[in-house]
Structure 1
Amino acid sequence: MNRLLDKSLKPLAIYALIVLLLSIPAYYFIVDRIWVSELDKHQYVLRDKIESRLVKLNLPDSTVEQTINIWNKIEPGFVFTAHPTDQVIKDSVYTTMRFDDFLQDREQFRALSTSVRINNKHYRLLIETNMEEADETVTAISLAAIFFFLLLLGGFILLIRRTSAKIWQPFYITLDTLRKFKLNSDQEISFTPSDTQEFNELNDSLSKLLIRNVNVYKQQKEFTENVSHELQTPLAIVQSKLDLLFQHPTLTNDQYNIVESAHTALTRVSRINKNLLLLARIENHQFADHENIDLSILLHNMMEMLSEHLEQKQLTLENILQPDVKIEANSVLLEVLINNLLINAIRHNSIKGRISIELTEHRLRLTNTGSHTLAANKLFKRFSTTSTETPGSGLGLAIIKQICDLYQWKVSYSFINNLHIFTISFKDPITLPAPSS
């Protein structure tokens, strides 16, 4: 995942690279035009100097011819030729490619073909100047562009790194304040004021949002506490009254069946009430306390507690438990998780079936025999009926899913070869994070 500053640097770097790449042909064209223009001016100056000096020497015609011949031999860039008529030659400036005898290679030359007048006689003067090769110029400009791009990119990175620490400091202070804030604490949220308008607006919006969330959390917590108190008491009273009815000596068989049916329904209501309250507490992150728990030992203890249930169905229990698998979590939630998994494996099992438990530092897998698959699309939803043969409260697997989500574990279900397979994959192989407060 990229940081915000890196995302802002990328388009700047791309834009700078595009501009510099486009500048290479522009630089070449400008340099080439300036160079050619200066060469042309220089050649005209040379022509004027040569003509002026030869005229000032006032040499006889024979000497002039000898001087020109010598000049042509020692100055390969200048060529004098006699003009057959007295007509003035029109100046011609052009670029040509020819073989250079001295460099032994084809070179590009800028040429000026003009005429000079010496002793009232016209001569054709050809001045050629070797030009720099285009590829050398382009290479030099490209290297310069690359250098300045790297310099510009380095400057961008340096400036962004240095200025961002100050510019984004209020944001990181706000982020740190949010991380330290606990929803179930009585402390008031307070953000550090900033001289940046956008950060102050962000802090104000977050303050209002957190205040609303705190109020909602307190209301939900108060509601669950009230429900726990108001419902558990009358349920306990009704339970005790039904227990007294069971012991009444004049109770007929029909009355006994009615009381037993009411007792079963009341037990289910009480269990549903406890499970709903547990789900509400999990969702409200009211299980903040955590400890380092040896999961292998906890599994052994839970299996011993449920041994009677196993014997009732004559189930065979197999376990492959890696020792010293320790996890940081709330002990109550972890016991609820394992208990619900085991109860579910016993309930959705056949007589004389088997249950297999596999524990490693990466996962917990529980497998049990079964006749048909469960409704996977409704498996972890509240009050969903996954099987009509073994009805329950419809909250056991929902609680498992809620606990796994709280600790960022992954729970999955599959049915292969008449085997129900529940797998919990741990986020961290050794130590898992406790639920946030």
Structure 2
Amino acid sequence: MSKLLNKPLRAFTLYALIILILSIPAYYWVVDTIWLNELDVHNKTVEGHIKDGFKKNNLSSNQITEAINVWSQIQPGVKIRQVQPFEVKKDSVYEVIRPNKYANEVGERFRGRSTYFYIQGKPYHLLVETNVEETHETVIAIAVVTILFFSLLVIGFILLNRKISTQIWRPFKNTLNQLKSFDLNSQKPIKLAVSDIEEFEELNQVLTKLIDNNIAVYNQQKQFTENASHELQTPLALLKSKIDLLLQDKNLNKKQLELITTLNTPLARVSRINKNLLLLAKIENHQYSDEQIIHLNKVLNENIEILSDYAANKQVSIENLIKETIMINGNKHLLEIMLTNLLVNAIKHNIENGMIGINYQAPVFSIYNSATNSLNKDTLFKRFISASSQSPNNGLGLSIVKEICNRYNWTINYTFTNNQHHFSITFQ
């Protein structure tokens, strides 16, 4: 994955390279055309000079012949010969490649002009040829200079782009950092710095509006959950007491007794869900504010002792490998709930004759247990989503653990290695 700034740079470099390659034949054609036009002008000037020389001087036939021979010797590129009237044609220009005995070139390019004129009424054919200077060397020199400036342009663009981009992208990076640190549970709206770049400022406004709306919706949902849990608490307690009274009725037959007994299981499940929702609401509202220095080893051992029978029934052994004393700052009741939920989760998601290990390497506290399959990390800490599809849980246990960790800025992580679930909490 490449950075955004590199994409236009690559496109610019590729485009400039294509233009450079196409410009080389264009340079050659332009230079060659200009040079040929200059040679045509030169040849025409020589033609005019020769014609004027013969017209101005009244020469005899012998003198004309002698003058033509002299011209041929002192000007090798000029050829004059007498022709018959029927050989006279229109003036023309041409190119020819032939050896140049004066330059020791096997094949050299010449630009020529063919014209006809009359001396004392007799037609003569005049050829004026000039060798075409090599344009390849000029084009190569131009190409080298172009490549040099192209390289300087690209290098300068990269350096300038890096320097300017630091300032240009600072508002965006500030916005990105704010979004990374944003926590919906904290109820703190982010404060995005004002940018003088229109697109970034528009992005900040949209994000601010979106986050404010999410906070408002989240607060409404949280308030509804808290109110609903409070309202359900009394009816559930009343329903439980009524069922207990019915169970004490000696006039119930066996079928009625079984029917009433079956009501206890879903009622207990609903009561647990309601209790956990109230607990989550209290944690999110920071109602557990009485913090103290807690002896984690002591709380952990008490939880292990309480759950020892449950683990034995599941044929799961618990091994506490912590040797050092661990003191942390927090609420004791929340710490008990967190450890209980982690241990219960390790017992439930275990195998027959499995094990649970507890370890601590400052500042990381970890609980791991034997297992066969990995849990879904994406939904592991979400509410009402059980860690395992085979588990009858309400999916709130690990959500509560996550909220407690968020409450104290602890970091919880899950990994699955060597057929073991690993839950690690980093105390800060």
Shorter-chain TM range is 0.5 to 0.7
The 1:125/1:158 distance shift into structure 2, 3 A limit, reads farther
State the Cα distance separating 1:110 from its structure 2 match. 1.3
Q: Is 1:37 aligned to 2:59, yes or no? A: no
Change (3 A) 1:217 1:123: same
Partner residue, 1:354: 354
User: Which protein, 1 or 2, shows the higher relative CO under an 8 Å CA cutoff with sep ≥ 6?
Assistant: 1
The count of aligned residue pairs is: 397
Quick check: 1:219 aligned with 2:256? no
Tell me if 1:83 matches 2:85. no
Gapped runs of 5+ residues in structure 1? 290-296, 324-329, 414-418
| Identity among equivalent pairs (%) | 41
Give how far 1:276 is off: 4.0
Matches for 1:374-385 after TM superposition, within 5 Å: 382=384
Partner of 1:422: 421
**Which has the larger displacement, 392-401 or 22-31?**
392-401
Name the structure 1 match of 2:206.
205
Counterpart residue identity of residue 32, structure 2: D
Distance 1:398 1:91 in 2: 99
| Distance 1:403-1:127 versus aligned 2 partners, 3 A rule | farther
Q: Deviations over 1:385-416 (max 9, x none)?
A: 9577x744444467689999996956569xxx
What corresponds to 2:370 in structure 1?
Answer: 368
Amino acid at match of 1:28: Y
- Take 1:298 and 1:37, find their aligned partners in 2: how far apart are those partners? 102
8 Å CA contact retained: 1:54, 1:118: yes
Partner Cα separation in structure 1 for residue 49 and residue 334 of structure 2: 103
Q: 1:379, 1:386 within 8 Å by CA — same for their partners in 2?
A: no
Q: Which amino acid aligns with 2:33?
A: R
Deviates more, 1:404-413 or 1:144-153: 404-413
Deviation at 1:219, TM superposition (A): 3.0
Change (3 A) 1:196 1:397: closer
The CA deviation at 1:126 is 2.7
Give, in whole Å, the separation in 2 of the partners of 1:360 and 1:264.
Answer: 38
Matched residue type, 1:85: Q
- Which segments of 5 or more consecutive residues in structure 2 lack a partner in the other structure? 290-296, 325-330
- Secondary structure of 2:104's counterpart equals coil
Evaluate the alpha carbon distance shift between residue 235 and residue 129 of structure 1 in structure 2; reply closer, same or farther with a 3 A threshold.
same
Per the alignment, residue 106 of structure 1 pairs with 107
Q: CA deviation at 1:108?
A: 1.8
Report the AA paired with residue 370 of structure 2. N
8 Å CA contact 1:378–1:385 kept in 2: the answer is no
The root-mean-square deviation of aligned C-alpha atoms, in Å, is 6.0
Q: Is the 8 A contact 2:225 2:277 kept in 1?
A: no
Residue 128 of structure 2 aligns to a residue whose secondary structure is strand
Instruction: Name the residue aligned to 2:327.
Output: none
Separation in 1, partners of 2:20, 2:9:
16
Aligned partners of 1:39, 1:208: CA distance in 2, in Å?
73
Q: Tell me how far apart the structure 2 counterparts of residues 120 and 54 of structure 1 sit (CA, whole Å).
A: 12
The question of whether the paired residues in 1 share the 8 Å contact of 2:354 and 2:370 is answered with yes
Say if 1:107 and 1:220 are closer, same or farther in 2 by CA, change over 3 A: same
Alpha-carbon offset, residue 58 of structure 1: 6.1
Counterpart CA distance in 1 for 2:427 and 2:42 is 80
Q: 1:280 to 1:111 in 2, by over 3 A?
A: farther
Contact 1:80/1:123 (<8 A) preserved: no
- TM-score with structure 2 setting the length: 0.62
- Name the amino acid aligned to 1:131: V
Write out per-residue CA displacement over residues 201-248 of structure 1, whole angstroms, 9 at most, x where no aligned residue.
444433433332232333344445556666668878999x89x99xx9
Measure how far apart 1:41 and its partner are. Answer: 1.3
Q: Residues 300 and 134 (structure 1 numbering): CA distance in 2 closer, same or farther, change over 3 Å?
A: farther
* Partner SS state of residue 108, structure 1: strand
Deviations 1:100-149 (A, max 9, x none): 33233322221223345567665433322222446545544544554454
Q: What amino acid sits opposite 2:99 in the alignment?
A: F
1:92 equivalent in structure 2: 92
Is the Cα–Cα contact under 8 Å of residues 93 and 112 in structure 2 kept in the other structure? yes
- Per-residue CA deviations over 1:19-39 (Å, capped at 9, x if unaligned) read 444444444333332222221
Label 1:135 to 1:364 Cα distance change in 2 as closer, same or farther (>3 A).
farther
Q: 1:126 to 1:403 in 2, by over 3 A?
A: farther
Where in structure 2 are the equivalents of 1:188-267 lying within 5 Å? 198=199, 200-226=201-227
Alignment check: 8 A CA contact 2:411 2:427 kept: yes
Task: Name the CA distance, whole Å, in 2 between partners of 1:365 and 1:128.
Answer: 98
Aligned-partner SS, 2:130: strand
Which amino acid in the other structure matches residue 52 of structure 1? Answer: D
Letter in 1 for 2:354: R
